[in-house]
Amino acid sequence: MTDASRVEPGSIGELTTPALVVDLAAFDRNVAAMAEALPGPALRPHVKAFKSTALAARLADAGHHRFCAATIRELEGMVAAGLTEDLLLANEVVDYRRLGRLADGGASITVAVDSPETVAAAAGGGVSQALIDVNVGLPRCGCAVADAGRLAEAARAAGLEVRGVMGYEGHLMMVDDLDEKRAKVEKSMGWLLEAHEAVGGDIVSAGGTGTYAVNTWANEIQAGSYCLMDTQYDTLGLPFEMALSVVASVISVNARGWFVVDAGLKAFGMDHGNPTSLRGEVMFCSDEHTTIKPDDLGMPAVGERIAMLPAHVDPTVAKHPQFWVTGGEAGGDLTARPVVDRWEVDLLHW
């Protein structure tokens, strides 16, 4: 007897919902647009946005062989997938031994450090390469500019190769006015370049999808969301398309003027607001439901499939086991769109 759970779906209509869906044509256009703007090592894709080695391999095929990550688990998965050329943990941790084991196995591992304690932990954990993480205005990780040179000296004294600096201007990603954004990024990167003068090394790593086009001071940009996009970034008018959706099924229709789908808080990252429905206005999300006021197309039928667009790609992806990749032209009958591939979300957890 065939196990139905192992039968690959042939179309969106055959998916179990809620389902994380990638429009392959839009994804490929996004990848090509970024590769033209930041070819090869000018982009260090951030795997925290998509948490999938299958997706990362497609970015490597586009010429990007350096990657950065937010968790040790993400780097372990990248190494297991053979993507080992130049990996950066763009985040501080206090136990680097798992990364030391990856380096012992031949992977090129660089870590971010911002204190004597993280320097000592990196050296003690068997890591040999580091970037000095500098605070450039976001109240998160990073040492003061004035401390960067001394920290680099301490790192070298501990046996680490200091490859340069990194800083994350995350507080500037959503500045809408381009002139204002450019001026603020220039100020932020001025601090990073001042630190780089004291630190040395070849790398100045910064940026993200929201600042990639104006940050001309870093020599590598840590963008990841661009290839899938979300509704928050979509407000900036970037040259990238919404390639990611969560497909849900209509499970209830109410004559008082709303309908309900089977994707809620557990299917979306909600920190940037509600998802957007392509069939009406989202009223609110519950654990397993979203209630929607229908648009001019009228009330959908129970069982109809509805595409929902997430407001924040990274935590939305982290709630799903795989991407279902669709081909064919967008629009028309959503249920008939073919499923052409499955990309496992295999870099979950820590």
The percentage of residues in the chain with a pLDDT greater than 90, rounded to a whole number, is 95
In a domain, 1, yes or no: no
In a domain, 207, yes or no: yes
331-349 average pLDDT score: 92
307 and 216 share one domain: no
Q: How far, in Å, CA of 178 to CA of 182, rounded?
A: 6
248 and 193 share one domain: no
In a domain, 2, yes or no: no
Confidence of residue 297 (pLDDT cuts 50, 70, 90): confident
Q: What contacts 61, CB < 8 A, 6 or more positions away?
A: none
Q: Global pTM?
A: 0.95
40 and 188 share one domain: yes
pLDDT at 8 over 90: no
In a domain, 46, yes or no: yes
Could you say which of 228, 249, 280 is where a domain stops?
Answer: 228
Confidence of residue 187 (pLDDT cuts 50, 70, 90): very high
77 and 210 share one domain: yes
In a domain, 151, yes or no: yes
221 and 294 share one domain: no
Domain range for 110 is 24-228
127-156 average pLDDT score: 98
111-140 average pLDDT score: 97
In a domain, 350, yes or no: no
Written as six digits, the tokens of 6 are: 């192992």
What total of structural domains would you count in the chain?
Answer: 2
The DSSP string of 261-302 is ES--TTTS--TT---EETTEEEEEE-SS-EEEEE-TT-PPPT
CB 230 within 8 A of CB 244: yes
Q: What contacts 57, CB < 8 A, 6 or more positions away?
A: 81, 83
249 and 194 share one domain: no
181 and 219 share one domain: yes
pLDDT at 1 over 90: no
In a domain, 195, yes or no: yes
pLDDT at 269 over 70: yes
60 and 162 share one domain: yes
The percentage of residues in the chain with a pLDDT greater than 70, rounded to a whole number, is 98
What does R_g of the chain's alpha carbons equal in angstroms? 22
How many angstroms from the chain centroid is the CA of residue 334?
26
Q: What pLDDT score was predicted for residue 332?
A: 72
Confidence of residue 6 (pLDDT cuts 50, 70, 90): low
Report the CATH number at residue 321.
2.40.37.20
Report the CATH number at residue 54.
3.20.20.10
142 and 55 share one domain: yes
Q: What pLDDT score was predicted for residue 3?
A: 46
85 and 151 share one domain: yes
- Beta-carbon neighbour count of residue 345 at 10 Å? 19
320 and 195 share one domain: no
Could you say which of 228, 263, 287 is where a domain stops?
Answer: 228
Q: What pLDDT score was predicted for residue 4?
A: 45
Kindly report, residue by residue over 213-268, the tens digit of the pLDDT. Answer: 999 999 999 999 999 999 999 999 999 999 999 999 999 999 999 999 999 999 99
pLDDT at 104 over 80: yes
pLDDT at 82 over 60: yes
Confidence of residue 286 (pLDDT cuts 50, 70, 90): very high
272-289 average pLDDT score: 96
Instruction: State the average pLDDT for the chain.
Output: 96
Could you say which of 197, 228, 259 is where a domain stops?
Answer: 228
Confidence of residue 111 (pLDDT cuts 50, 70, 90): very high
Q: What is the DSSP letter of 71?
A: S
pLDDT at 2 over 50: no
In a domain, 253, yes or no: yes
200 and 256 share one domain: no
